[in-house]
Structure 1
Amino acid sequence: DISLVKSEPDDDRPNEHGGQENEMTYEEKLAFASPIAHPMASKKLCKKLIKLVKKSAKHKGYTFGGIKAVRTAIRKGQSGLLILAGDSSPIDNMSFLPGLCEEKDIPYVYIPSRKDLGAALNVRRGVVALLVKEHEDYKSLIDECSQQVRALDIMV
C-alpha cells in the first residue's frame, strides 16, 4: 500500500506570523553584508524600500534591475533612488555605482539581501542593484524614502 501523503511538514509553508519558517531575520542577513556596504538601511527603512520596489514593479519602465542596466540608465540621465544589495559577491563588481550616484546627485542605499530585492521585484533570482524612477502612483513613498536615505550618514 503506497501512501501519497507526506509524513514530513513542508519547510516553505508560511508560519503563523505570515513569513517563511526558514526566513532569516534582518540581523542575520546583516551578518552576510559586505563591510563596504554603507549606508545600510535600517530595518524600518528596509521594509519601506521593499514596499516601494513592489509598487514600482507594477509599472513597466520605472525600474532598472542589474548592474549594467543601472549604469546605463544613470549615464543616460535617469534619476530616482538606487537600492543596492549588501550581500553581493564580489562587491567589486558594483563598487563604482555609489561614486556614479554621488556625481549625479542620486540617493543610494544598501539593503542586506539581494534575494529580498529580487522577490520584491517578482523575479526568482537575486537582484544586486535596482534604480527606481519616480511615478505618480508612489511619489510620496519614493520622496519619503529618498529623504530618509539622504539623512543617513554617507562617508565620502
Structure 2
Amino acid sequence: MAEYVKFSVGKELKEKQFELIEKVTKTGKIRIGVNETTKAIERGKAKIIFIAEDVSPQELVMHLPLLCEEKKIPYSFISTKKELGEKAGIAVGTASIALIEEGSAKKEL
C-alpha cells in the first residue's frame, strides 16, 4: 500500500464507489486530474474525492488527503489509475477525480 493511502476499501464499497462515479460522470460534473482536483478542493466545490492507489511518484497526490481533511471533504481510494479513468469515462488512467455536482446521484452522496 502506498504511503499516502490511509485505509483500504472493501470490495462491496468499491463497487458502490464505481456506480457513484459512473452515475455522476453521466448526469453531474466531475474534475479529472490532480490539478483540477486540487482546485476543486481549495475552492470548496468538491463533494467527494477519489484518489488512485498506484500513483507514482506518490508526491503527486500526497497532499490530497491532507487537503481534504483540512477542508472537511470526504475522500476515498480506488485501486488503480486505469480503473479510476475508466469509471470517469476517459480512455486513460487518472490519479484523482473530484465530484462537483451530483446529478442523479444526489441521494447516494
Same-fold call, TM cutoff 0.5:
yes
| Structure 1 counterpart of 2:88 | 121
Give CA deviations for 1:102-125 in whole Å, capped at 9, x if unaligned. Answer: 111001111211111111111111
Quick check: 1:57 aligned with 2:12? no
Out of 30, 46, 61, the residue aligned to residue 94 of structure 1 is 61
Q: For 2:65, what is the secondary structure of its paired residue?
A: helix
Matches within 5 A, 1:26-45: 33-45=1-13
Q: For 1:79, what is the secondary structure of its paired residue?
A: coil
Give CA deviations for 1:20-45 in whole Å, capped at 9, x if unaligned. Answer: xxxxxxxxxxxxx4243122211111
> Could you say what the CA RMSD is over the residues aligned between the two structures, in angstroms?
1.5
**TM-superposed deviation, 1:135:** 2.3
- Is the contact made by 1:38 and 1:109 (CA closer than 8 Å) also made in structure 2? no
Which structure carries more helix by proportion?
A: 2
| Structure 1 counterpart of 2:107 | 140
- Give TM-score scaled by structure 2 length: 0.91
Report the structure number with the largest CA radius of gyration. Answer: 1
Q: Give the paired residue count.
A: 109
| Percent identity of paired positions between Structure 1 and Structure 2 | 28
Name structure 2 gaps, 5 residues minimum: none
Instruction: Give the structure, 1 or 2, with the largest relative contact order (CA under 8 Å, sep 6 or more).
Output: 2
Dislocated runs of 4+, deviation >6 Å:
none
CA distance in 1, matches of 2:103, 2:85: 23
Out of 43, 65, 77, the residue aligned to residue 110 of structure 1 is 77
Out of 39, 48, 56, the residue aligned to residue 16 of structure 2 is 48
Name structure 1 gaps, 5 residues minimum: 1-32, 143-156
